[in-house]
Chains A and B, each alone.
Chain A
Amino acid sequence: MPKKKASKERVLSGVHFMLGNYATVEGAISAGCNYFAGYPITPANEISERMSQRLPQVGGKFVQGEDELCSVFSLAGAALAGGKVMTATASAGYNYMQEGLGYCYAIEAPMVIVDVQRTRGDNFASQADVYQMRYGASGDYEAIVVCPSSVQELYDYTIWAFNLAEEYRNPVIVMSETTIALMRERLDIPTADKIELYDRRYTKKTPDEYHPFEALANQCPEAAPIGEGYHTIYSLNPHDEYGNIDWDPIVFDNLYKRVTGKITENADKICRTESYMMDDADYAIVTYGSEFRPSIDAVETARKEGIKLGVLKLCNVWPVPENAICEVAGNVKKIFSVEMNLGKYVREIERASKNKCEVVSVTKNRGFVHTTDEIMTEIRKGVL
């Protein structure tokens, strides 16, 4: 994959005190985003607002879509035209995007979608979209979902999301939520030469030699420049390596296995986790997003009480970091799955644990991230 450094003109290097939604935008601008389309919704509006100011400054285009569906479909066109593209919405708006998103998975359009999760009907924090982000659209596809836990990570992970989108030619979801999106926090933006970007892999073949959907089983196809004779049909329907629509079951099979295989077979390369105090841990919290923050404080409290607790932070939830979870399950007596919903991702943690230890679901859906005390109450009960 061709690599390059970020462009100096796009990177606001230095120490900032910045709103999470703004940090998401700065991550995108640093990553080379040059097209944004979105429809207003709280608590994601500050992303559109800042994008409308920042993109024209760097030669990009900002479009306010007539709705979410229009926005995501326009990303498909802009992405195929060579753009690095993004949209942002919040839970209910993410619902509306699913038809377009399904098309983008099928045609393998690289893009970044930010879902600033909220509770139904209001602006409170939630992680209840964790399955919607994986299974929202119809058909067979694999999602990549990264989970920042701070304003700094909103910046860092948005760059990561753009790189993953380019590397695998797949939509990548940034799982944001009210807690971090509407929080202001210290943000250290590095110099441009410290930011590595992955560029799209373009074909070196002539239009006659080029097969738009030809790729090895675990890879995405090479892209071709638009307007230079590489005529391609980008269809949701089953298509062969030439892009021809074909209803032959073998074509179905080959296409869907490759589109999912390029993610599943590279899951170990994609997945990132971070371990805190896990070396001697008897108990582990496995968590993601902003719930990581009170979990870290819970470790400090627990250790003072003589409970050897550690944390496995999932930097991405899809694909599931199965190996890391399984390894933890083999080393501890119990896993506490901490999330801001009524118990969703705990099912993946249980599955990946392969019955090596008990998994306890610690849940909350009251509009706010867990407090450290709330987590500790469950930990104390669980270690009795």
Chain B
Amino acid sequence: MKYPLRISLCGFGGQGIVLSAVILGTAAVTKGNKYVVQTQSYGSEARGGQCQSELIIDEKPINSPIAEKKNVLIALFQDAYEKYIPALEEDGILVIDPDLVTNIVRPVETTFELPATQIAVDIGNRMTANMVVLGFLSECLGIINKDDLLEVVKDNVADRFKEINTKAVEAGIEYAKEHNMYHRS
């Protein structure tokens, strides 16, 4: 990967946006020996409302915690997509859930359509769409090693949800493989 990676994950409250950012950051720091800064913004609603989490991942300590331009944007909801797309670099990578982001206002050359919510519904739990995304990012972008990711996921979810979340990560990986969706720089 080319560092620093400046990632924005956005959607609506309840999709597990912040948890997926925390898992990604934890894996990068504790397994990948990287430096990571993670911040978030969300409304006061427990469900609904826009939610966004930012990650900066680098091989050296990170100074300014604000990255005005992102090189990866993952959008799981139309409103959030529209709010955060202006911050994506011209040559950035866009990952969208095509069922929830239906109106593309700014075409981006490197766009991956990942029906994360439908995949999560198909394996039995809509709430695991965030884990589908993490699996996809691991395979498609190579941000994090699959085994490391699975280990951190298990550490960060309740016992009774470990199996379904593991399944969701693997489904995300499989989707990238099946559709030959790769972008490794």
Contacts and interface: CB of A to CB of B under 8 A. Distances in A.
Interface of A: 15-17, 179, 182-186, 290, 293-294, 296-297, 368-369, 371-373
A17 B144 CA distance: 15
A369 B35 contact: no
Interface string B3-42: 0000000000000000000100110111001111111100
Contacts of B103: none
Interface of B: 22, 25-26, 28-30, 33-40, 62-66, 68
Given A185-B36, A185-B37, A293 B65 contact: yes
A294 B66 contact: yes
B43 to A, nearest CB: 11
B65 A186 contact: no
A21 B26 CA distance: 16
A368 B67 CA distance: 12
A372 B66 CA distance: 9
A301 to B, nearest CB: 10
Contacts of B35: 185-186
**For the complex of A and B, 8 pairs with smallest distance between CB atoms:** A17-B29, A294-B64, A184-B38, A17-B26, A296-B63, A293-B63, A297-B63, A297-B64
**Among B28, B34, B39, B63, residue most surrounded by chain A Cβ atoms (within 10 Å):** B63
A186 B34 CA distance: 8
A201 B28 CA distance: 44
8 contacts: A184-B22, A184-B25, A184-B38, A186-B29, A186-B34, A186-B35, A371-B64, A371-B68
A167 to B, nearest CB: 30
B19 to A, nearest CB: 12
A183 B38 CA distance: 6
Given A17-B29, A17-B30, A182 B64 contact: no
A294 B30 contact: no
Contacts of B26: 17
A182 B35 CA distance: 17
